[in-house]
Each structure stands twice: as C-alpha cells, then as structure tokens.
Structure 1
Amino acid sequence: MKKNLLFVIPSLAAGGGEKSLVNLLSQIDYDRYNVDLFLFNHEGLFMEFLPNQVHVLPLPKTYRIFTQPLLHAIMKLLIKGKPIIAFNRIMFSYINKKIKDTSIKEQYSWRYLSKSLSCLEKKYDVTIGFLEKSSTYYSVDKVSSSKKIGWIHIDYDKLGMDPNFDANYFNKLDHIVTVSKECATVLKQRFPAEKEKVKVIYNIVSPSMIKSMANHKEYNLASKKNDEIFILTIGRLHYQKGYELAIEACKILVEKGLNIRWNVIGEGDEREKLSKLIKKYNMAQHFKLLGLKSNPYPYIQHADIYAQTSRFEGKSIAIDEAKILCKPIIVTNYSTAKDQITNYVDGLIVEMDPVSIAEGIEKMIINPDLRERITNNLSKLNLSTEDEISKLYKLLG
C-alpha cells in the first residue's frame, strides 16, 4: 500500500529551498508514495514545475481572510463571528511591526497566525516541514502524522532565530534533516538533546536536466561587447547575499579599467536599497538586477564567472548548478563555503569584503590558465545528487 506524505513549505517563490523541493518532488517514486503539498501562498516562480502527481491542498478559508489587509481582515472575521481570530490578526500585525528581525518575527508571530489554520483532517504516514520556521511549526501543530521531519536549509546560527522557541518543536520531530555537514555540526552543537535526530541529505540536482535547460534558445540574452566580462550571481535580494559587497567590488573592477557586466537573478526586499547604491556608484551600465527567471541556466551558460558574495549559506544550489555548467566560481569565505568549493581546484574562496572579491575576480579574468584549470577540474566531477533520494526513503521507513 502506498504511503501518504505531506510536504509543507511557505511558497514556491524563488529560493534555494523551494527549488530543492521541486527537484526532490521530480525524483520521488509515485508508485510508492501519495504526495500532498501544503503552501501558505499558492503563487510562485516554481509552481509550474510541480509534478502532476503532487496534490496541492487548498488554503483554509479563515486563513485566506486572515492574510488580507488588516482592517479588511478584521471586519470580515468579525462579520463571520470570529472575534478571537480577529484579535489574533491584530496581534499578528503588532508583532510584525514591533520586531525588526525577520526570523524572530516569523517565530513569534506564528502563535497568532496559527489560530487561523485548522488541523488537517487527513492522517499522514510522514509529514516533512521542508523549510525552517513556519513549515516545521505547521507540521508539528496542525498535522496528525506517524512520523515528522524538519528540514533546515541554512547555517542555523547565522539566521538569528531564537533556539529556545525552536527547541520545543525540534523535540517533537523524529528527524531533523539539513543540507551540509557544517550545517549538521551547527545544529548538533545548538541542540545537543536532538543531535541523534540530525541527518544530512544534500540538495538534489540533475545535471542532465540543467544542461538541457541551459541550451534553450528562446532566451534573449545580452550579447557581449568587445572584451566585456559577464559575471552572474543568483539569489534573493536579501542582506544574507551580500549584494552591497558585490556592487562595491564591481565599482573597484570598473575603476581598474575592466569591462564588467555583473548580472543578478533574483528578487527581494532590498531591491530599492541596492538600486540606490548602484546609482550612487554610477554602476547602472555594469551592475544589473534582472529580477526572477524561471530558467536561469542559459544565463549561467552565458556567464564567464559565477560569483557568490553571501554572508552565510547552507548549501547553495546555484553554486552546484554553476559547477555542473563548468563555470569558474568565486565565493566569499562564509562558514559552509568549503563544503562546496576547494580553493584553486574548482573555484576561488575570497574574504568577505569588496576589495578581496574584486581581487579574486580580477585574478580569474587576467589568468586564463587558472580559469581553464578550474573549468577542466569541474568537467571531471560527478555532480549528480539524484541518489540522495534514497537517504530520504530510509527516513520515510
């Protein structure tokens, strides 16, 4: 008999965790499993890539009202005779305005948001909260399941969460999956009582699919002019990604006379701030915010160098994808960088400041032998992680 699985994630908007889930769902054996998916938001870049076998659960009516603008939500909830949920909507808004830290905000506002979500009637064999915070909280609080798994895609200590809040939820999980050995070490140190639950399952990537999508011809990519060097970065426009470091590094390179075009694929709440910085440094012709792209692979294929200027990462899917397409890679020295890049073998690891980033890129540009050596090394790697699905099957039991 097939097992019933439920995956929970806030949305399928652009992001490494979201792409990882879509890749995982494309590999699951649907002869063995029935798969439901709960999303807090049904809009997102990756919705179109969901396998047909995945059943997306409808959003509860009360939750849909709860997430409307404050006054509209309160009025509707009161009309429907739900004064307690209306009060929680007010508190949800208050907490979100009072707390500045995004991660703490999501944790502490859950107690109010959760009041708008009823428990699911269906009982599952396994529930998987596929992203930290709300996905895990929903899985624990709102789902009846024989087994529960939480999935952490980041270096826990870098995200600024309250571990005391999470400890209560982690205690109720059967397994805690994370995406790299370094992330696993951090979790075990932070939550020693749960260390036996921590497992590593790498993000699933398919080289054959990526190479096929990289060759799609319908993309109107900017053509290179003369000696122009194309650099690419993929990721949310968020403090974590260190884009202001990239913009300053770009300025340094241009001032040295290098003809740089640095493209960024991604969207986020720092767009306005970054656009002002680009204008301030007069980098509009050199540093481009391209927005979201459902197929980023032609852009990776088109790039000369892939750069990741993050302050912290779990395990970057974009780096894995750049490696599959054999692109010279430069990453900042965040805590998990060495999990993916061996310095001077399959990329360069540089210090987390604009000067070091610029020096690393310049070194890559003026040293074709270094670029060729890195590209050749990447071409020999077996970068498929499709077999990681077998690790998940063992946890599913």
Structure 2
Amino acid sequence: MGGVPRVVLDLLRNLPKDKFDFTLMLNLYQGELVKEIPADLKLIVVEKGKEQMSSNSFMQKIQLIWRRMKLEVYDKFPSILYKLKVPEKYDIEIASSYAEFDMVLNSPDKNSRKIAWFHTDVTYDVNQERAKARIDQMKKFDHVIFCAAHIKNVIKEFYDVTYSSSSVVYNAIHTDKVKEKALEFEVKYEELKKPIFCSVGRLHSRKGYHTLVNIHRKLIKEGFEHSIVVLGDGEEKNNLIEQINQLGLNESFKLLGTKINPYPYIKNADYFVLPTRSEAYPLVINEALALEKPIISTNVGGIPEMVDGGVDGILVNYDEEEIYEAMKKVFTQPELIEKIKQNTKDSYKKFDSKKIYNQVTEIFEQQNQIKLENERS
C-alpha cells in the first residue's frame, strides 16, 4: 500500500514498451496493490502472500515459518534465489527502495547495470549507523536516483557524501486520474463539524499525528470548531485511539483506516494537513493539490519542492505551536486562505508526468549504453 510501490507501478504502466521489456520481482505477493499490477507485465514472485495461504490458523503459521526460512536462505545465498526464481539475465536491475539494496547488489549477474532508487530522508533515522550504512551502500551502485533534491543535498551536507552518477527524479502524478477517482463515490462527512481537515499517511510516531491530536484539542478549546479525518494504518493506531479517547475527541478526530481510493475523502474535505516530522517526497501532497486543497504542512524533506509557502499552502517547522498557528489561520485570516484556495487551481501545472517519464527513459538508455560499451571493450 506504500508510496514506493505506487510509483513503481506508475512507471511500469507508462514508460515506453517499445524501448523496454520489464520484469517486476516481488519478494511477497501480498498487499492491495497487487490487484493493480498490469496483466501483461512479466512477474517473478519469490514467495506467496498471506492471502494465498491456508485459512486454517495452525497451517498458516506453519506456512509463514517455512516462508521465512526460505527468505532467509535466499538472503544469505542469492545465487540460489536467482537459480530457482530468475530465469533470464537483465540489462538493468533496479532496487526501488533501500529494502532491495542487498538483493540487487548481490545479484550473480555482474554485467547488469545496478540502479538504486532512494526515497528516504536519512537525517531523521534514529539509527544513524543504519542510515550511514545505506548511504555508503549506494556508492556500490552504477547510478542513484533520488526522489527529491533535498534528499540528495542533505546527504552531501550532513555526511559529506556524493555519488559519481546520480539524478533527481520526482514522482509522477496524473491529475486527471486523481480527479476521476475522486468522483467514484461521495463522502459527505454529515456527522462532522466543518471545516474538515484531512490527512493521509502511515500511523507512525514520526508522522506527527499525536501532535495533531493535541493541536485539534487546543483549537476546539479556543472555540474554533472543526473536525479532522486521518486515512491510514500503522503501529501507532492503538496509541492514537487511546489519546483521542482520553481527551474526549472521538466525535471530531476520526481515524478512518486504510482506503484503496483516498481521493473522495480528500476532495470532500476543506483542507489537507500533514504534520509529519520526516518525509522524502510524499505523493499525497501533489494529489491533494490536484484536488485543489490548500495544504498545511511541515517544511520537511522534499515538501518545499512541491508546495509554494504562502501561495498554494502554508509551510511551518515541525513544532506543535507553529502547526497550531498555521491551522488557526483558517479561522482568523480568511483573505489569506481565500488567496491560497484560488492559487491551488493552477497547482497541477507544476506536475509534468511526461517530462518525468522522459527523464527516466533517458537514464535507463544511458545505463544500457554503458553496459553495451563495457561488453564491447
């Protein structure tokens, strides 16, 4: 359900088929997005997903243990994995996130060009030893793609590391498709007090939703009636539910869970808020702008490359008081908010998907040309 798989699927659907013959390799065949894998795409599945296992709980536990054991063997002995699961050799092998770095770098095919795609702001990793290991690991790739200039720059600034071959490629968004999906069904929010602030994200401590709950309570206590809906799931869900109940906010702060199609929920809200402590290039910001929603967000990661502060959104530091003041402007500065609303109507012009596809195409062609030259020499 994550942003990275969505980006991968979008590229596989839209990069030129007359130039590339793609194969998608999945460690696990599970998650809602498997339904969106193009039917004509070559697919390698390393192991089954839970949905394909026995409905008997005892048998499923046995299957999960067996699956974990096989994955550990493949991890330690990649030659076995490739011999059993990968029948062809490829010109280019791509790690779509750091989770696949080891697999691609350990590929027995030493002639393929290796590309790392990086979507993470490493400065907020609590385990800096792990972050530094990933930064150093990227040096082993033939080319590194960053999803935002901020991520590339911060690695240079904080770790003094640069890469001999790298690019910045923003995640593509199709505003027409987003708008079309936003009309698939109606979300009325009839039981909630207006205005409605919507947010979409994983329920993780670094996403700042515990902070948003406190801000919500403070605004209501000061007489600024509103409601907040959050789409997503994660390990912080139970903590957030307890916090919401303790503060008596369960009628106005709603956790709606994961939604395959979040766009009607965004479209029928009044504002989009992202109180996150750390981000790379969150696609949902662009999607909210495509639906002409004013953005209130923290000024982290690649978000300043997406939102023009004071133009189509309000950007602040990750600070409870600053986020509170930004949300308060909805109620106290109507002229500013109206100007931002009008500016969101042209925000879609910032997102040129065709340009992004051409950029990726050029990178792949360049890497393949290098491979051919290496083989000739």
Q: Where do residues 27-42 of structure 1 align in structure 2 (5 Å cutoff)?
A: 27-42=14-29
Secondary structure, counterpart of 1:118 in structure 2: helix
Post-superposition offset of 1:189: 4.3
Post-superposition offset of 1:15: 2.0
Residue identity matched to 1:184? K
Q: Where do residues 1-397 of structure 1 align in structure 2 (5 Å cutoff)?
A: 14-60=1-47, 72=62, 113-115=75-77, 118-119=81-82, 120-132=86-98, 134-142=99-107, 144=109, 146-159=112-125, 160-161=127-128, 162-166=130-134, 169-189=137-157, 194-217=162-185, 219-223=186-190, 228-381=194-347, 382-386=349-353, 387-397=355-365
Residue of structure 1 in register with 2:372 after alignment? none
Q: C-alpha offsets along residues 148-188 of structure 1, whole Å, 9 cap, x if unaligned?
A: 11111121222345245335632321111111111111233
Structure 1 CA distance, aligned partners of 2:66 and 2:36? 34
Residue identity matched to 2:26? L
Query: What is the TM-score with the length of structure 1 in the denominator?
Result: 0.79
Q: Structure 1 stretches of 5 or more lacking a match?
A: 1-13, 78-84, 93-110
**Contact 1:312–1:336 at 8 Å: present in 2 too?**
no
Structure 2 CA distance, aligned partners of 1:245 and 1:340? 23
In structure 2, the CA distance between the partners of 1:254 and 1:179, relative to structure 1 (3 Å rule), is same
Residue identity matched to 1:303? A
In structure 2, the CA distance between the partners of 1:390 and 1:220, relative to structure 1 (3 Å rule), is same
Secondary structure, counterpart of 2:112 in structure 1: strand
**Contact 2:297–2:316 at 8 Å: present in 1 too?**
yes
Residue identity matched to 2:42? H
Post-superposition offset of 1:18: 2.1
Structure 1 CA distance, aligned partners of 2:131 and 2:142? 18
Structure 1 CA distance, aligned partners of 2:320 and 2:135? 37
Q: C-alpha offsets along residues 122-173 of structure 1, whole Å, 9 cap, x if unaligned?
A: 21111111112x2121111136252111111121222345245335632321
**Which piece of structure 1 moves more, 340-349 or 295-304?**
340-349
Structure 2 CA distance, aligned partners of 1:333 and 1:376? 21
Q: Structure 2 stretches of 5 or more lacking a match?
A: 366-377
Structure 1 CA distance, aligned partners of 2:20 and 2:301? 36
Secondary structure, counterpart of 2:134 in structure 1: helix
Residue identity matched to 1:57? I
Structure 1 CA distance, aligned partners of 2:236 and 2:108? 34
Secondary structure, counterpart of 2:190 in structure 1: coil
Structure 1 CA distance, aligned partners of 2:165 and 2:159? 10
Secondary structure, counterpart of 1:196 in structure 2: coil
Structure 2 CA distance, aligned partners of 1:20 and 1:287? 30
Structure 2 CA distance, aligned partners of 1:191 and 1:370? 39
Structure 2 CA distance, aligned partners of 1:190 and 1:200? 18
Post-superposition offset of 1:113: 4.3
Residue of structure 1 in register with 2:375 after alignment? none
Secondary structure, counterpart of 1:273 in structure 2: helix
Structure 2 CA distance, aligned partners of 1:75 and 1:311? 35
Post-superposition offset of 1:255: 1.0
Aligned residues: 349
Post-superposition offset of 1:75: 8.2
Query: What is the TM-score with the length of structure 2 in the denominator?
Result: 0.83
Structure 2 CA distance, aligned partners of 1:320 and 1:271? 25
Q: C-alpha offsets along residues 364-389 of structure 1, whole Å, 9 cap, x if unaligned?
A: 23333222211222212303331201
Post-superposition offset of 1:48: 2.0
Post-superposition offset of 1:73: 7.1
Secondary structure, counterpart of 2:113 in structure 1: strand
Post-superposition offset of 1:300: 1.2
Residue of structure 1 in register with 2:373 after alignment? none
In structure 2, the CA distance between the partners of 1:123 and 1:370, relative to structure 1 (3 Å rule), is same
**Contact 1:118–1:142 at 8 Å: present in 2 too?**
no
In structure 2, the CA distance between the partners of 1:321 and 1:238, relative to structure 1 (3 Å rule), is same
